[in-house]
Amino acid sequence: MGAKQQQIAKARPGKKSKRQRRMQLVVYIMIIAMLLSSITTGLVMFL
């Protein structure tokens, strides 16, 4: 039964698991936070 569910999961590559989506969201948030911090650091240097 478990092997059949794995085959079904592989047949649908477009659907991501909740864990993968959450990890991707965390990565995006971290990247945005790094960009914002670098931008604000650059602005502080000019002030």
Radius of gyration of the chain (CA): 19
> What are 1-47's pLDDT values in tens digits?
555 555 555 655 667 899 999 999 999 999 999 999 999 999 998 88
Q: Phi, psi (5° rounding) for residue 35? A: -65, -45
Is the model's pTM score more than 0.85? no
